[in-house]
Amino acid sequence: MATLKKISAATAALLWLAAPQHAVAVPVVSTPTTTFFPAAPTIPPDEPVTNVTSHGPYTGTPTTTGALSTDVLAPSIPALPPPPNAYDYPSDGQLHAPEPAPYTPAGGQGTNGSAPVYRVLSDFDYESIALGLYQEWIELDLFHSGLATFSDDDFEKAGLTAEDRFLIEFMADQEVGHATLLSNILGPSAPNQCTYNYPVSNVREFIDFCQKLTRFGESGVYGFLNHLDSRPVGQLLLQSISTEARQQMIFRQFEGLFPMPVWFEVGIPQSWAWTLLAPYISSCPENQTRLIWQNYPALHILNQPNPVRINGSDVWNETTGGYTNTLSTKDVPAEQDCLNSTEVGVNCSPAITNNRSAPLSYAGRQVFLEWDEPGQPIGPNNSYVTNTTANPPVFAAWVSQLNVTYSPLQNISGNSAWTIQPNTSTFAGDPAVNGTIFLVLTDEDLYVTPFNLTQLNPHVYAVGLYQAG
Ligand SMILES: *[C@@H]1O[C@H](CO)[C@@H](O)[C@H](O)[C@H]1NC(C)=O
Ligand SMILES: *[C@@H]1O[C@H](CO)[C@@H](O)[C@H](O)[C@H]1NC(C)=O
Ligand SMILES: *[C@@H]1O[C@H](CO)[C@@H](O)[C@H](O)[C@H]1NC(C)=O
Ligand SMILES: *[C@@H]1O[C@H](CO)[C@@H](O)[C@H](O)[C@H]1NC(C)=O
Ligand SMILES: *[C@@H]1O[C@H](CO)[C@@H](O)[C@H](O)[C@H]1NC(C)=O
Ligand SMILES: *[C@@H]1O[C@H](CO)[C@@H](O)[C@H](O)[C@H]1NC(C)=O
Ligand SMILES: *[C@@H]1O[C@H](CO)[C@@H](O)[C@H](O)[C@H]1NC(C)=O
Ligand SMILES: *[C@@H]1O[C@H](CO)[C@@H](O)[C@H](O)[C@H]1NC(C)=O
Ligand SMILES: *[C@@H]1O[C@H](CO)[C@@H](O)[C@H](O)[C@H]1NC(C)=O
Ligand SMILES: *[C@@H]1O[C@H](CO)[C@@H](O)[C@H](O)[C@H]1NC(C)=O
Ligand SMILES: *[C@@H]1O[C@H](CO)[C@@H](O)[C@H](O)[C@H]1NC(C)=O
Ligand SMILES: *[C@@H]1O[C@H](CO)[C@@H](O)[C@H](O)[C@H]1NC(C)=O
């Protein structure tokens, strides 16, 4: 129980007065006392964090070993019909079983009173949480490094004040908590913090990279959360990732974008998240725990919409590279930059929300693509290798909200092609393709839904992020 170190004289008097006078009105105390000092409970230590001081690409000799693996039983998981009993429960609003206790409906998992254990239960759990931890570590370093690299003046020029910078600092602190939580779940073999290489050279590129990195961090977790064997672990991860979701939205606001142009947030397979994360890790410490996940080749979006432009879709080859396809400000002339415009619908200063009268993209837009070949070293110490088991791609899969929509690749010539941004909705009134979405190339237009999206993996050739809105 908390220790009350001091009770003020006024409060003591009140308690004394109140006791014999139950029936009459007790004087209303409208100014709460601030003289209680409960002792803090034991505070668990943070995972030790060292500020990464060096950034840049890995220059050592690649010690290529590829992803962690063991005996592989089959090239893919066969698609099966729904499990038996899937349609048995009537879903009619009536109760169909005795209640285990008052106000307690029958069913649910982890509801029978057995003590929850916050521990991974399978390779699936371990590899997924370890991936999440790699993500938390990069975010921690990224947020710090942006604050350390760019001056206050640089931030001010991008419209970001000292209070905004404190929010970024606070987000970095949140990552310390998340990294500590996931490290504690995994135990001593948990992956450590690495060194990183970011495709940014100014504040606006930094904010765009943060916005895109937190998008695949968030979506990467949504993709596996409900597949975890350990629901107690899932519970803790959920409570971390909902914080990450807020970070993603805040970075959109810092970028002057519409904060949430979708009705549903998308989930993606772990290998897509790892594909998008690994290129920005330059090296990890000796004996670092490795991951099982696949690194796909990069997708380059040649006319990736650029949020710093007044007409963001009127753009050619303005990214800092494939995979995240983050924006480059290098070739944007001042008169085409939306930051200093005073016009509503054009101005893109940091804000709670901005309308964009010229949308970043639209259904029917021709999108030009290029993709890399597999077999390239990538990731920490260049020790992973990009791979695909798909045939050469013939479709672009637009993965957003609840939907995977395929558009055929046109004019395929070597490793380039174009395609048309589809017109598709989740429900009436909600165009599915909006926000920061996932664009992957596939050899087949396989039907997949949010809970079995990973079934697409054997057909994926290249992975990128598309800035739809
Ligand atoms: C890391 O850098 C932050 C400022 O960016 C500073 O507050 C913190 O003390 C540093 N931590 C260590 C362990 O040096
Ligand atoms: C994915 O799930 C849907 C049902 O939601 C099913 O129709 C489809 O066949 C499944 N796809 C694969 C490849 O398993
Ligand atoms: C309670 O549920 C757990 C699974 O969540 C199960 O392992 C355990 O056997 C159950 N306990 C009882 C008493 O039914
Ligand atoms: C990666 O490279 C760094 C720097 O050369 C080295 O210290 C580290 O041991 C390497 N890590 C692994 C896992 O080989
Ligand atoms: C790495 O593992 C080897 C073998 O277990 C061990 O001898 C070495 O001390 C470890 N290095 C570090 C930095 O932990
Ligand atoms: C923006 O650019 C696109 C592509 O060049 C063009 O089709 C569109 O009309 C432009 N929109 C505005 C509002 O100027
Ligand atoms: C895009 O720009 C890069 C340099 O910034 C250049 O190397 C590359 O060839 C360009 N690609 C296309 C398709 O124009
Ligand atoms: C915006 O205005 C500020 C202050 O007037 C100026 O320093 C900056 O260069 C301008 N930026 C652009 C992109 O025009
Ligand atoms: C913002 O955009 C919405 C949807 O296009 C429109 O209804 C609204 O009038 C716009 N508001 C302003 C202030 O431009
Ligand atoms: C995305 O949403 C914004 C805000 O509602 C809207 O202005 C824009 O047209 C949408 N973009 C697409 C591609 O639907
Ligand atoms: C991709 O992985 C498969 C299965 O491990 C392997 O057979 C194939 O050689 C790899 N391809 C490349 C290009 O490394
Ligand atoms: C997108 O997903 C929603 C929810 O599953 C579904 O109702 C809708 O039909 C899908 N849209 C398309 C074009 O397939």
User: Tell me: the pLDDT tens digits for 274-315?
Assistant: 999 999 999 999 999 999 999 999 999 999 999 999 999 999
* Better-scored residue on pLDDT, 55 or 13: 55
Please indicate, yes or no, if residue 77 is contained in any of the structural domains.
no
Please indicate, yes or no, if residue 291 is contained in any of the structural domains.
yes
> Which atom of ligand 5 lies at the shortest distance from residue 286's CA?
13
- Give the integer Cα–Cα distance in Å for 371 and 251: 28
Tens-digit pLDDT profile for residues 197-215: 999 999 999 999 999 999 9
Neighbours of 14 (CB within 10 A): 15
Q: With b meaning 16 or more CB within 10 Å and e meaning fewer, what string describes 280-311?
A: bbbbbeeebbbbbbbbbbbbbbbbbbbbbbbb
- Give the integer Cα–Cα distance in Å for 237 and 334: 43
Tell me: do 127 and 33 sit in the same domain. no
In the reported structure, the alpha carbon of residue 298 is separated from the centroid of ligand 10 by a whole-number distance in angstroms of 26
Please indicate, yes or no, if residue 94 is contained in any of the structural domains.
no
Tell me: do 35 and 131 sit in the same domain. no
Mean per-residue pLDDT, 88-97: 97
- Give the integer Cα–Cα distance in Å for 147 and 140: 11
Q: Model pTM?
A: 0.92
Q: Which ligand is nearest to the CA of 403?
A: 12
| Res. 144 pLDDT band, cuts 50 70 90 | very high
Please indicate, yes or no, if residue 353 is contained in any of the structural domains.
yes
| Domain span including residue 319 | 123-467
Q: Which residue, by CA, sits nearest to atom 7 of ligand 12?
A: 426
Pocket lined around ligand 12, Cβ cut-off 6 Å: 402-403, 424, 426, 432
> Which atom of ligand 8 lies at the shortest distance from residue 337's CA?
13
Mean per-residue pLDDT, 126-132: 98
Q: Which residue, by CA, sits nearest to atom 8 of ligand 3?
A: 114
H or E element at residue 135: helix 123-149
Tell me: do 36 and 128 sit in the same domain. no
Tell me: do 148 and 1 sit in the same domain. no
Count of domains forming the chain: 2
In the reported structure, the alpha carbon of residue 148 is separated from the centroid of ligand 1 by a whole-number distance in angstroms of 10
Please give the torsion angle defined by the CA atoms of residues 99, 103, 106 and 109, in that order, rounded to the nearest 10 degrees: -140
| In the chain, % of residues over pLDDT 70 | 93
In the structure encoding, which two tokens stand for residue 220, read together?
């990467």
Q: How far apart are the first and last CA of the chain?
A: 51
| Rounded alpha-carbon distances, angstroms, from residue 157 to 147, 264, 313, 322 | 14, 33, 24, 27
Please indicate, yes or no, if residue 85 is contained in any of the structural domains.
no
DSSP 431: B
Please indicate, yes or no, if residue 93 is contained in any of the structural domains.
no
- Nearest partner of 463 among 305, 269, 314, judged by Cα: 269
Burial class (CB in 10 A: 0-12, 13-18, 19+), 13: exposed
Tens-digit pLDDT profile for residues 416-458: 999 999 999 999 999 999 999 999 999 999 999 999 999 999 9
| Res. 16 pLDDT band, cuts 50 70 90 | very low
Please indicate, yes or no, if residue 116 is contained in any of the structural domains.
no
| Rounded alpha-carbon distances, angstroms, from residue 119 to 54, 236, 303 | 34, 11, 45
Quote the pLDDT of residue 327: 98
Q: Which ligand is nearest to the CA of 113?
A: 3
Tell me: do 21 and 141 sit in the same domain. no
Three-state SS at 366: strand
Is pLDDT of 222 > 70? yes
In the reported structure, the alpha carbon of residue 110 is separated from the centroid of ligand 3 by a whole-number distance in angstroms of 7
| Res. 27 pLDDT band, cuts 50 70 90 | low
| Res. 370 pLDDT band, cuts 50 70 90 | very high
> Which atom of ligand 5 lies at the shortest distance from residue 287's CA?
1
Is pLDDT of 63 > 90? no
Please indicate, yes or no, if residue 185 is contained in any of the structural domains.
yes
Tell me: do 30 and 139 sit in the same domain. no
